[in-house]
Copies of this chain bind each other. A is one copy, B any other.
Amino acid sequence: MEANSDKELRITLIGAGTIGLSFAAFHLSHLPAPSQLTIYDTRPNAEEYIRDNLTKFFPNNDAPISISDVRVANDLQEAVVHAHIIQESGPENLPFKKELWAEVEKHANKNALLWSSTSGIPASRQAQNMQDKSRLLVVHPYNPPHLMPLLELVPSPETSEDVIQRTQTFWRARNRVPIHIHKETTGFVANRLAFALLREAVHLVDSGVVSVSELDSIVETSMGPRWAVAGPFKSYHAGGGTAGLKGFFKNIGDTVQACWSDAGTPNVGDGWEDKVFAEAREVYGTVDIAERDRITHRLLSVLEEEKGKKDHDNGRST
């Protein structure tokens, strides 16, 4: 009962919120597809809710696997008993998750992969009531997971190497980028990085240097597209010429340090919120997410194509 068997792959999703449904859309549209996709959710009229909302991901009725083939379960034991992969995207609530995994463990096959989509509750805490804590792994997506390539794999100190490796194999086979985070860290990595920039952004808007929309324009026309192609270390390593990152810091390390020394450190609740929230509301109203996702998908297709070329040039299979 291997998760990567070519023949049978039964995936069970727990929780049909935004993240759970987006993962469902991912599994329905990426080969190799599961032979069965089950969604477990406790909300009233779950079946109708799930089919209606999944349909929205496929506006042209173009789900590669028919949405009517998705099995909606309302009994946890029945939902997980035959699954190779059990992926939880439930409420961000420690008691809920602790209880869930203890219950899942009773019914699931002992080789099933157990993944939590949590953005903040470490596997070591979620697993507290489990008999075998080596089975649980945080697989944190970047929203929305049906589009964004990143998955942060954040094991607890007890998660087994085998679980991490089988999880990497699963995502890589579907052209995703699973990154193994080596230590359980508050907020993991992607959010820590993004929130560090957000903090300085809040400071700059709050102190009148730029407006909310000016700041967004700056990011959209500079580091956004740059970092989509080459992350910060690679970019600055390139910026240092033949001397690399060392050359970069030799050239402008003083400016870097001056910015770090002058950085703002606003906190949540410090009073900047009213101005910043109101400005965002005024300039953006309600964001057209479908439009954003369509453009993001175009960019990601270019990047995937380029990555395919490069892998091909390097003689690797793509």
Contact = CB atoms under 8 A, between A and B. Distances in A.
A204 B230 contact: no
Ranked nearest first, the 4 interchain pairs of A and B with the lowest CB-CB distance are A216-B231, A224-B227, A224-B228, A238-B287
Interface string A258-271: 11111101011100
Contacts of A269: 257
B179 A210 contact: yes
A87 B295 CA distance: 35
Given A201-B232, A212-B233, A237-B284, A225 B189 contact: no
A273 B246 contact: yes
Contacts of A292: 229-230, 238
Given A213-B233, A220-B303, 6 more contacts: A148-B225, A150-B218, A197-B232, A220-B227, A220-B229, A220-B230
Interface residues of A, number: 102
A186 B258 contact: yes
A143 B239 contact: yes
Interface stretch (A5-13, A50-58, A124-132, A275-283): A275-283
A220 to B, nearest CB: 5
A158 to B, nearest CB: 18
Could you say how many copies of this chain the assembly holds?
2
A94 interface: no
A227 B223 contact: yes
B191 A255 contact: yes
Contacts of A253: 268
A207 B181 CA distance: 12
A241 B220 CA distance: 21
A299 B150 contact: no
B263 A221 contact: no
A188 to B, nearest CB: 9
Interface string A190-209: 11111111111100110111
Contact of A255 (B119, B204, B236): B119
Contacts of A186: 258-259, 262
Contact of A223 (B183, B194, B259): B194
Contact of A228 (B232, B254, B287, B299): B299
A168 to B, nearest CB: 12
Contact of A215 (B189, B213, B302): B189
A223 B193 contact: yes
A42 B284 CA distance: 49
A169 interface: no
B231 A227 contact: no
A174 to B, nearest CB: 13
